[in-house]
Amino acid sequence: MKLRNRNQNFLNTLPEGTAKVSRTSKVLHWGYFLLLALLLVYLGRYVYLRLTQIEGYGEVVIERKPLAAVRGGRIGALSVKEGEKIHAGQMLVRIDAQETCLPPEETKLLQAEYDIQQKRAHLETLQAKWRDLHSERMLRRALELDDSLRHDERELPYQIALLKKELILQKEHLNRLRMARQSMPPATECLPQWIESPVSGRVNRVLKHPFEVVKTAETVLMVEPAEADVMIEGYLSKYDFKSLFVGKEMTVLFPDEKTGKGRIVAIHSAAYAFPERKWQEYEPADSPLRVTIAPEGPGEAKKWRAYNLLRVELRGAQI
């Protein structure tokens, strides 16, 4: 039935069917629901892990032994390169003494010889002055023109005699120094210094190269023992402190998605002794807790060595 309204439009009371729904709108509709579901799953997982697990990060570190110079010098020879296998007792680096190197005994001897030469030159100067003073012309000038020459005539003999006695003492001192040097073993300060490997393994890193100058106690090589210990230096939130204890089992997630097991062997108060205070929003951001994690068994240790110096994720159960 059709009805006409005031505007002369027809109103149809018969059923006209359902509106068509496009495929695009269906896809968008279900896409919104899927996105919402994923968001809820993610938030649920985050809350679950935050309430039941502790999370952090760390770095795999293999034990390395630094080899340093006992005293300064110049690298004279370097017989290895990075990655090369070495054995215990092998000579790795030769450090030559500096060109101006002199042992203390030799320095004293040279100083004594210099003092004698200086006094001898002074004595020869005074003796020449004394001879000139006694010449006829100088004597006449001393008597007629200059009274200071008469004073020198009285003082010069005493000065000459004093210098001769000092020379005798200096020569005796020099002879004693020479005898002491002959009886002493060669000075080690000026001999070449060899650095040998304390363990068998491989060269991890070369920090100095031939002809470079090295300071006293400066590291020249890093050596990795054949059976080197491997650890993870981990960093966890300060809020997880109550859940941490020595011996706690931790799960390690490596960059290639493989997992490993380890246990905490040491807990440190913070990543730094005196952390710098910074503000994050309304709360001061402190340094994280630092833990040392050891592998659980030789098999785990062998697996960890393949990830040396790589960043890993750490997870553990929360108490």
* Adjacent-strand bridge partners of 230: 62
Q: What is the pLDDT of residues 287-299, one digit of tens each?
A: 678 899 999 988 9
- Reply yes or no on whether the pLDDT at 34 is more than 60: yes
Residues 287-315, mean pLDDT to the nearest whole number: 89
The better pLDDT of the pair 51, 206 is held by 206
Q: What is the pLDDT of residues 102-130, one digit of tens each?
A: 666 666 777 777 788 888 878 788 777 77
Q: Percent of the chain, pLDDT > 70?
A: 74
Q: What is residue 112's predicted lDDT score, i.e. its pLDDT?
A: 77
Band (pLDDT 50/70/90 cuts) for residue 6 is low
**Side-chain-facing half-sphere of 276: CA atoms under 13 Å:** 1
Mean pLDDT score of the chain: 79
Residues 133-138, mean pLDDT to the nearest whole number: 58
Instruction: Identify each DSSP E strand in 172-241 by its residue range.
Output: 193-196, 201-206, 213-214, 219-225, 230-236
**Side-chain-facing half-sphere of 71: CA atoms under 13 Å:** 10
Residues 260-286, mean pLDDT to the nearest whole number: 66
Residue 94, number of CB atoms within 10 A of its CB: 17
- Reply yes or no on whether the pLDDT at 23 is more than 60: yes
C-alpha of 133 from chain center: 71
Taking the model in full, what pTM does it have? 0.51
At 101, list the tokens. 């190197």
- Reply yes or no on whether the pLDDT at 76 is more than 80: yes
* Adjacent-strand bridge partners of 249: 263
Q: What is the pLDDT of residues 226-246, one digit of tens each?
A: 888 899 999 988 888 888 899
CB 95 within 8 A of CB 76: yes
Strands of the sheet with 193-196, listed across from one edge: 193-196, 91-96, 73-78, 213-214
* Adjacent-strand bridge partners of 233: 59, 292
